[in-house]
Structure 1
Amino acid sequence: MAMKVSASDGVKVYHVTSGKALPAWLSEAKKRALRRDEEYRRRLELLQSFGFPSACQRLKATPDGQYIFATGYHPPMLKVYDLANLAMKFDRHMDSEVVDFTILSEDYSKAAFLCADRTVSFHARFGGYYKARAPAHRAFALNGSTRGTRAGSGTAQQLKGVRTPRQGRDLAYAPHLAELVVAGSASELWRISLEEGRFMTPLACRAPGVNACGVSPVHGLFAAGGEDGTLECFDLRARAAAGRLDAAAAAGAPGEALTAVRFDGAGMQAAVGTSNGLVAIFDLRSSRPLLVKDHMYGDPIRDIKWHVSGAGGAGGALAARRVVSSDCHAVKIWDASTGEGYTSIEPPDGDINDVLLWPDSGLIMIGGDTPRVRAG
């Protein structure tokens, strides 16, 4: 069994999920006839049913590294894959399209989904059990503590709710406070306390809307990327912003919106992406970017990941620190210190929606506007 290989910039990329997917309407007789087809015989499947009827929208791995969450649309649905068995564990159809989601536990047992109908849907092992749509401070009776990474218990009879004030665009989970923060098309950040089971006082932003947000895994600082190009950082225990920066202007793109935000593993640097295809790396102690990388396509940056490889490990001095940034056309991997390109991955068809970078490895999974999830 052979894998397709590409060697952009001299770096070999092995396509783990190469080959064409079979259409669902294909008859059994034609499926049997494909045994003589050389391309079909050489196909690879990383996981059972690793794809969707139309497109994949979001990909995330559980903190314990045993499961993969994937969402798709047309129709909107969720799939969870068990990596120990290389198979799909379950799938669920959603009421509306998933904008983004976050995993609340170490395994697949608890997750929160931000949906296009302005709801935050909480799911457990048995299925969806609560939809939080309440603005302001109305309580919604999520039972049990979620301090750390544990979510509260509930029953299927608790599925109810009212609407959020505006459309949500991104969400982030702060485990040290057990708070879920939702950003959207308003100058507010809506906070949901999963320990108290209620909406907290929202945080005020200067930006008219927030496109992307993130929480540092080290010190818990929360960052919000505004549609006016400002980057605002908050200590979630205080109401006022800890600092503000016109990141787009500092990166040489005044007036452009921020579309992606990601802290590094040490918590001292943050990478932001702009709507015109720039990625800028900032030290939190400076208002000037350390580095600006241009994707050269002029389209919004959709995702940013940090990748550490080499002898030094996650915090070692000998480790190679790279940034994995993506727009709708390509995934670019480049050095975080010099900006020198390492390699790039350009799918032959379909826009890129999300990228999952497997920890401590070189495996990359790409969800896009194609039925199959690509991996390499």
Structure 2
Amino acid sequence: MHVQQGDVPVYTVSGANTARPLPDWLARRRKRSLKADPEFQNRIELLQDFSFEEASACVRVSEDNNWIVSTGTYKPQIHVHYLPHLSLSYARHTTSLNIKFSLLSSDASKSLHLQSDRRVELHTLAGLHETIKLPRYGRDLCYDRLATEALIGSVGLGADGYGEVFRFNLEAGRFMQSYRVDVGSDSGSEVGLQGSIWAPAVNSIAIADNTHNLLAFGTSIGSIEFWDPRSRSRIAVLGGQEGEITALDFNDSGLSIATGSSTGVVKLFDMRSPKPLWQKDHGSGFPIKNLTHMTTSSSERKIMSSDKQLIKINEESTGQTWTSIEPIVDLNFTTWVKGTGMILTANEGQAMHAFLIPQLGNAPRWAAHLDSLTEEMASEVTTDNYENYKFLTLPELRSLSMDHLIGKTNLLRPYMHGYFVASKLYEQARLIANPFAFEEERAKRIKEKVEKERSSRIRGNKKVKVNQKLVDKLLKRQEKRATVDVNAGVLGDDRFSRMFEDEEFQIDENSGEFKALNPSTKVDPESSRPTARETTMSDESDEGTDNSSDESDDFEDAPPRKAKGDAVIMRHSALGLKRQAALAKPEAVT
């Protein structure tokens, strides 16, 4: 769903993964197999039935941005989508294939369609309104709103040896005198009523709406003729272009015009000069099919051009490539939803494509939910599809002397604020830049191992309800043995769990038995004041406290036993002292 060319992200919000349609039985089986596919589960269906059975030929958006009209094959049909409902409003079949069409109204109520059988059809909401038969086959269709005339560029030569642009006045309901355009001579070996196979033609028509309303006709001999519809006269001719002129488009001011040729070259001309301001080659060698002047949300001027395989958006002032889109299917027509960042395409394959470029503009109001989705995707940097790549920022690339490879190889893929570099290339560049990388990595791992062992010597911590001092004492002894485990020995034995939870097992530090076994322990002075004899005994036994505790380490896990009389309490053996220290209140132990 996400493709990034340079610093401009492009999101595919609608489109197919395969170019050719599948049989019904195979499509159902494939759909069942895709139930566990995360890409299929996360797919967004932008519009209901935004597709055709075979392929689509042309697509346009109404001026009020509430309707999308598209034509396709097979069988030849027209689809009209109502955008506020995100659904197909109606579909209508025709008897022949559609070449191009134009919307005559601000909505989809009236449309004019150029068909492949030398007919022009006028459609309304009620259906097919009128059919007009053309003298010769048409190549392009344009509507002059001021004169209410349909202009159709045709193939072949008229009786006077000129190419013709037919004028059909929709108000009068009849053909007017045609525009005679110089398209050369027909040099074909077999010339019939419609001309030879390679007959010259008027390939493209453009009109400067809302400005001077001049007409531009692109011919098969590489010339562009400019006509004034008010006087119906030719005012200028721009010739000497390579290949045929296949696409034309005026900018909003009418002061410049973009041209596309059959060799895949896009040029921008100032209307006051015959020299191009800049020219750009698509590089694929296919004819340019569509040209569109665009304006971003930040009022930057762009020009979108498309051929069979590629969509390019260039800066209008310099011609520098801003971003590009390369769908997996062949393109037939490309249109821009004005005032937004969405691009729609009619293409080979069942599903029609829709691309969203946030830097070009926001999503249309009928697809406003896409803005929040793209923001979330832009904030997340995922490398699921780049497991064999290493992400590096531009300063890191420069430190490895790899910045000269930017834009020249697929081994460097731009993403967010850096680049994904192929792992093999990264390892080789790092080895060349730093031959001692292996030794540094070895020293780093040794340091990590030492730090891990050092952190294991930190005293553990365990909080219990009763006998907290005893727990701290046991953990301190474990620390001396360089192993701290809060669940080892007595602390982890379930048989002694009540010793640290039940208050009945609370050690009474003021009892005579406790003082006899722990003469060096300092008791809280508020609870009991030690006598002079006890203080003397405590001072004399300070020196031997550590030895007695060390000697009793081996017996810290022994279970407590019930004391039997004063003779057991006064026993001075190490075993007796240790076992008695583990007792809480001897009379409560069972």
Q: TM-score, normalised by structure 2?
A: 0.54
Say which SS state the counterpart of residue 221 (structure 2) adopts. coil
> How far apart are residue 240 of structure 1 and its match?
2.2
In 2, Cα distance between equivalents of 1:32 and 1:339: 47
CA 1:245 to 1:31, structure 2 compared with 1: closer, same or farther past 3 Å? closer
Structure with greater contact order relative to length (CA < 8 Å, sep ≥ 6): 1
1:92-150: CA deviations, max 9, x gaps? 111101111000011111000000000000001011111011xxxxxxxxxxxxxxxxx
Residue of structure 1 in register with 2:202 after alignment: 210
> How far apart are residue 10 of structure 1 and its match?
2.6
Partner of residue 201 from structure 1, selected from 177, 189, 200: 177
Could you tell me which amino acid in structure 2 is paired with residue 308 of structure 1? T
Contact 1:231 1:247 in 2 (8 A): no
Greater displacement, 333-342 / 16-25: 16-25
Say which SS state the counterpart of residue 75 (structure 1) adopts. coil
Partner of residue 277 from structure 2, selected from 290, 298, 315: 290
Partner of residue 182 from structure 1, selected from 125, 142, 152: 152
1:208-245: CA deviations, max 9, x gaps? 41000011112211110000011011112223212111
Residue of structure 2 in register with 1:148 after alignment: none
In 1, Cα distance between equivalents of 2:284 and 2:17: 28
In 2, Cα distance between equivalents of 1:114 and 1:48: 26
- Structure with bigger gyration radius: 2
Q: Give the alignment of 1:103-252 within 5 angstroms.
A: 103-133=103-133, 164-186=134-156, 187-207=163-183, 208-217=200-209, 218-246=211-239, 248=241
Greater displacement, 104-113 / 33-42: 33-42
Contact 2:262 2:286 in 1 (8 A): yes
Higher helix share: 2
> How far apart are residue 35 of structure 1 and its match?
4.1
CA 1:199 to 1:20, structure 2 compared with 1: closer, same or farther past 3 Å? same
Residue of structure 2 in register with 1:343 after alignment: 323
In 2, Cα distance between equivalents of 1:290 and 1:356: 24
> How far apart are residue 346 of structure 1 and its match?
0.3
After TM superposition, the runs of 4+ consecutive aligned structure 1 residues lying more than 6 A away are: 27-30
Q: TM-score, normalised by structure 1?
A: 0.83
Contact 1:325 1:331 in 2 (8 A): yes
CA 1:18 to 1:123, structure 2 compared with 1: closer, same or farther past 3 Å? closer
Contact 2:267 2:278 in 1 (8 A): yes
- Taking only the aligned residue pairs, the percentage that are identical comes to 33
Residue of structure 2 in register with 1:5 after alignment: 2
Could you tell me which amino acid in structure 1 is paired with residue 164 of structure 2? E
In 2, Cα distance between equivalents of 1:291 and 1:214: 20
Contact 1:79 1:91 in 2 (8 A): yes
Say which SS state the counterpart of residue 333 (structure 1) adopts. strand
CA 1:65 to 1:356, structure 2 compared with 1: closer, same or farther past 3 Å? same
Say which SS state the counterpart of residue 372 (structure 1) adopts. coil
Residue of structure 2 in register with 1:153 after alignment: none
Residue of structure 1 in register with 2:52 after alignment: 52
Tell me if 1:369 matches 2:348: yes
Residue of structure 1 in register with 2:311 after alignment: 331
Contact 1:19 1:43 in 2 (8 A): no
> How far apart are residue 310 of structure 1 and its match?
3.9
In 1, Cα distance between equivalents of 2:8 and 2:181: 43
Question: How many aligned positions are there?
Answer: 329
Q: Which runs of 5+ in 2 are unaligned?
A: 157-162, 184-199, 356-590
Higher strand share: 1
CA 1:297 to 1:77, structure 2 compared with 1: closer, same or farther past 3 Å? same
Could you tell me which amino acid in structure 2 is paired with residue 11 of structure 1? V
In 2, Cα distance between equivalents of 1:39 and 1:105: 39
In 2, Cα distance between equivalents of 1:233 and 1:346: 33
Contact 1:363 1:375 in 2 (8 A): yes
Could you tell me which amino acid in structure 1 is paired with residue 106 of structure 2? E
Contact 2:101 2:141 in 1 (8 A): yes
Q: Which runs of 5+ in 1 are unaligned?
A: 134-163, 312-318
In 2, Cα distance between equivalents of 1:95 and 1:28: 30
Contact 1:18 1:43 in 2 (8 A): no
For the aligned residues, what is the CA RMSD? 1.8
Contact 2:218 2:246 in 1 (8 A): yes
Could you tell me which amino acid in structure 1 is paired with residue 330 of structure 2? D
> How far apart are residue 203 of structure 1 and its match?
0.8
